[in-house]
């Protein structure tokens, strides 16, 4: 599994470097996969739906979930160029998910200076001049919120006073206390942030603070500062469907708060086997020509 | 008219009942239990010993507290060639110890590293989350067997069952790349563990592990230690992602225009 995942990452980066020299062909027309949900034009929800309850009275979200919005971590912003480029380099069908629903153009609303740095990182992703400019996840670091939620499958377990999320990718976990305790002190920064949850009716609202400034929202950049703050809203809209809204603000980098939407579909519950990432990751050595990791 | 015999019988019965209740209480003092009646190990735990440095008896060194070992009888029955390797490992430990590379530390090492870990408990599964490199263990207690192996995993495959109030966990499917401690004690991919978690009281668990590896040891051997419950209010796991520490390699995030 380690080798497989590392191989995928290496393949992406190397293929990126090759494709920079040639114009990408137009994307093949592919039908959306069955069950796909367009985050920007979602189906009407059944407002009468009432979820089952856990023994302690929480709406029951337990089970295994995966995003059904066809979002790839390569890029969450551009539905044309990025998809065409990704198709050219990877041979995969174009992904059509556009998770950013506000602002309406689907782009991260950077402040002008930050847009320049984002463009620099975007240019760097094809052939990074240093491992510093390689996607942090490709380097083996944790994803951060909200990126981990569109990375792959995960399991939700609920306990009195706590919601637990364990992700298949990189054995990442989140412990979300529901007891109203305050965030940890502001001098503690975490890759996965500090989560505090509460129930608003059938919606789990999670406030994520204490984020470090080292995670990206996508492979092509998507940076933020250490005042990055996320409010997640997890709503069970049908027995097998979660609607997820993440409202993101960062007064140092973005011109306004922005929101992305991801739809999750229930999966068959399976054992979560080991996903060692750091241990087998050779991407940084290859990018840097065998030097720094 | 009071029947003296009846009164005496009643008193005797009451006294006996109280005695039985009292004796039951001394054998099992208010052990928290899950709805299915098993001992409830939910909480944040950590050892208070020096096994992370050396699982055997050792004197203090610079940065290393002296410690009484956790190996029962203190001797590890290495085969002669394995003992030679252990000594080489010790000499080279500053660079050869997989902990210096921030790799997943394996089992049982992850259980006695100097970082807290958290247990969540459901009838079919115990979830263990570790602060160290955000490692996880999923211990299936649903009657399933190990998958068809051999599988090279850093943290092995854990299948648990209850023997009375003791959780017994069988662990196989290891790679040969983890150590037991910072002193070079090691194993092969034939490592087979049987762990026993027994509640001593609500805040202490006796943790015993039998180690078997016929490539490296002449016979099985055992470690025994105590896990302590953290009782600080609002304590939570943080992160020790040591592979992300080297800020020199991090993207320089501009803080303003």
Q: What SS3 class is residue A147?
A: helix
pLDDT of residue A92: 63
> Which chain A residues have a beta carbon less than 8 Å from that of B102?
278
pLDDT of residue A81: 64
pLDDT of residue B15: 47
pLDDT of residue A27: 45
- Which of A124, A160, A162, A171 would you mutate first to test chain B, the one with the most B CBs within 10 A? A171
- pLDDT, tens digit (0-9, with 9 covering 90-100), for B145-157: 999 989 999 999 9
Measured between CA atoms, how close is B174 to chain A, in angstroms? 11
Number of Cβ within 10 Å of residue A74's Cβ equals: 20
Measured between CA atoms, how close is B231 to chain A, in angstroms? 16
Residue of B nearest to A180 (CA): B234
pLDDT of residue B28: 52
pLDDT of residue A15: 37
Q: What is the distance between the alpha carbons of residues A137 and A163, in angstroms, rounded to a whole number?
A: 25
Angle between helices A2-19 and A81-90 (to 10 degrees): 110
What pTM, to 2 d.p., does this model score? 0.87
Is B134 in contact with A112 (Cβ distance < 8 A)? Answer: no
Using left for φ > 0, alpha for ψ between -120 and 50, and beta otherwise, residue B97 falls in beta
DSSP H or E run through B8: helix B4-27
Q: What's the domain count of chain B?
A: 1
Cα B102 to the center of its chain, rounded Å: 19
Query: Between these two residues, B243 and A163, which has the higher pLDDT value?
Result: A163
Is A171 in contact with B134 (Cβ distance < 8 A)? Answer: yes
pLDDT of residue A276: 92
pLDDT surpassing 80 at residue A40: no
Instruction: Check CB contact of B100 with chain A, cutoff 8 Å.
Output: no
ipTM of model: 0.86
Lowest mean pLDDT among A120-134, A148-162, B92-106: A120-134
The answer to whether B99 and B206 are in contact (CB under 8 A) is no
Q: Is residue B196 part of a domain?
A: yes
**DSSP secondary structure of B145-208:** PPPSS---BSS-EEEEEEETTEEEEEEE-B-S--BSSTT--B--TT-EEEEEEEEEETTEEEEE
The answer to whether A160 and A56 are in contact (CB under 8 A) is yes
Cβ contacts of residue A254 below 8 Å, gap of 6+?
A108, A109, A110, A111, A114, A224, A248
CA terminus-to-terminus distance, chain B: 100
Q: Is residue B180 part of a domain?
A: yes
Instruction: Check CB contact of A109 with chain B, cutoff 8 Å.
Output: no
Q: Which of B250, B129, B189, B16 has its CA nearest to residue A272?
A: B129
- pLDDT, tens digit (0-9, with 9 covering 90-100), for A193-211: 999 999 999 999 999 999 9
Residue of A nearest to B157 (CA): A273
Measured between CA atoms, how close is A75 to chain B, in angstroms? 18
Instruction: Check CB contact of B166 with chain A, cutoff 8 Å.
Output: no
Kindly report the CATH number assigned to the domain that includes residue B129. 2.40.128.20
| Enclosing domain of residue B161 | 43-55+70-235
Q: What is the distance between the alpha carbons of residues B113 and B100, in angstroms, rounded to a whole number?
A: 13
The answer to whether B188 and B176 are in contact (CB under 8 A) is yes
Out of A141, A172, A177, closest to residue B244 by CB = A141
pLDDT > 70: what percent of chain B?
A: 84
Instruction: Check CB contact of A111 with chain B, cutoff 8 Å.
Output: yes
Q: What is the mean pLDDT of chain A?
A: 84
Q: What is the distance between the alpha carbons of residues B19 and B188, in angstroms, rounded to a whole number?
A: 53
Out of B140, B250, B254, closest to residue A214 by CB = B250
Measured between CA atoms, how close is A96 to chain B, in angstroms? 29
Burial A235-262 (b: 16+ CB within 10 A, else e): bbbeeebbbbbbebebebbbeeebebbb
Is A271 in contact with B127 (Cβ distance < 8 A)? Answer: no
pLDDT surpassing 80 at residue A8: no
Q: Is residue B62 part of a domain?
A: no
Is A271 in contact with B35 (Cβ distance < 8 A)? Answer: no
Highest mean pLDDT, choosing among A95-104, B67-76, B239-248: B67-76
pLDDT of residue B26: 46
pLDDT surpassing 90 at residue A7: no
Is B249 in contact with A171 (Cβ distance < 8 A)? Answer: no
Phi and psi dihedrals of A157, rounded to 5? -120, 145
Residue of A nearest to B256 (CA): A252
Domain ranges of chain A: 2-287
> Which chain A residues have a beta carbon less than 8 Å from that of B119?
none
Two tokens, residue B154: 């850093």
Instruction: Check CB contact of A275 with chain B, cutoff 8 Å.
Output: no
Measured between CA atoms, how close is A113 to chain B, in angstroms? 5
Is A278 in contact with B122 (Cβ distance < 8 A)? Answer: no
Phi and psi dihedrals of B184, rounded to 5? 90, 5
Q: CB burial class (10 A; 0-12, 13-18, 19+) of residue B196?
A: middle
- pLDDT, tens digit (0-9, with 9 covering 90-100), for A217-263: 998 889 999 999 999 999 999 999 999 999 999 999 999 999 999 99
Is B253 in contact with A55 (Cβ distance < 8 A)? Answer: no
Q: Which of B46, B191, B30 has its CA nearest to residue B107?
A: B191
């Amino acid at each position: 599994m380690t080798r497989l995942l590392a191989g995928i990452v290496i393949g992406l980066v190397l293929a990126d470097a090759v494709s920079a020299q040639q114009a990408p062909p137009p994307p093949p027309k592919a039908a959306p996969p069955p069950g796909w949900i367009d985050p920007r034009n979602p189906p009407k929800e059944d407002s009468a739906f009432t979820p089952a309850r856990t023994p302690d009275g929480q709406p029951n979200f337990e089970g295994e979930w995966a995003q059904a919005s066809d979002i790839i971590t390569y890029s969450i912003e551009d539905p044309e160029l990025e998809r065409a480029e990704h198709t050219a380099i990877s041979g995969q069908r174009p992904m059509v998910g556009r998770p950013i629903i506000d602002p309406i153009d689907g782009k991260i609303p950077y402040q002008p200076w930050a847009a320049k740095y984002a463009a620099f990182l975007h240019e760097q992703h094809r052939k990074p001049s240093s491992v510093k400019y390689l996607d942090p996840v490709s380097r083996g670091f944790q994803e951060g919120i909200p990126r981990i939620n569109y990375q792959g499958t995960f399991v939700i377990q609920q306990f009195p006073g706590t919601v637990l999320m364990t992700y298949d990718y990189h054995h990442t976990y989140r412990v979300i206390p529901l007891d109203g305790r305050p965030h940890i002190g502001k001098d503690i920064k975490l890759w996965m942030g500090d989560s505090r949850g509460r129930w608003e009716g059938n919606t789990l609202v999670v406030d994520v603070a204490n984020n470090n400034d080292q995670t990206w929202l996508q492979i092509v950049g998507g940076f933020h500062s250490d005042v990055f703050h996320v409010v997640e809203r997890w709503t069970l809209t049908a027995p097998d469907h979660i609607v997820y809204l993440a409202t993101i603000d960062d007064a140092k980098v973005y011109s306004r708060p922005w929101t992305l939407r991801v739809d999750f579909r229930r999966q068959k519950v399976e054992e979560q086997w080991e996903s060692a990432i750091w241990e087998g990751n050779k991407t940084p050595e290859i990018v840097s020509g065998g030097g720094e990791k | 008219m009071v029947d003296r015999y009846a009164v005496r019988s009643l008193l005797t019965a009451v006294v006996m009942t109280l005695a039985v209740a009292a004796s039951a209480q001394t054998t099992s003092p208010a052990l928290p239990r899950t709805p299915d009646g098993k001992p409830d190990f939910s909480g944040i735990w950590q050892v208070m010993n020096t096994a992370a440095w050396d699982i055997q008896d050792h004197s203090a060194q610079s940065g290393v507290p002296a410690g009484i070992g956790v190996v029962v009888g203190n001797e590890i029955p290495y085969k002669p060639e394995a003992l030679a390797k252990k000594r080489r490992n010790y000499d080279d430990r500053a660079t050869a110890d997989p902990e210096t590379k921030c790799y997943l530390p394996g089992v049982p090492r992850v259980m006695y590293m100097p970082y807290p870990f958290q247990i969540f408990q459901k009838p079919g599964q115990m979830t263990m989350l570790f602060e160290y490199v955000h490692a996880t263990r999923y211990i299936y207690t649903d009657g399933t067997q190990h998958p068809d192996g051999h599988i090279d995993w850093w943290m092995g495959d854990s299948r648990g069952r209850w023997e009375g109030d003791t959780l017994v966990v069988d662990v196989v499917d290891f790679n040969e790349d983890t150590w037991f401690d910072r002193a070079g004690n090691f194993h092969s991919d034939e490592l087979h563990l049987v762990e026993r978690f027994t509640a001593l009281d609500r805040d202490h668990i006796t943790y015993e592990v039998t180690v078997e590896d016929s490539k490296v040891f002449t016979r099985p051997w055992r470690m025994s230690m105590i896990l302590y419950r953290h009782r600080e209010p609002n304590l939570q796991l943080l992160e020790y992602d040591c592979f992300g520490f080297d800020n020199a390699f991090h993207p320089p995030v501009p803080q303003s225009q």
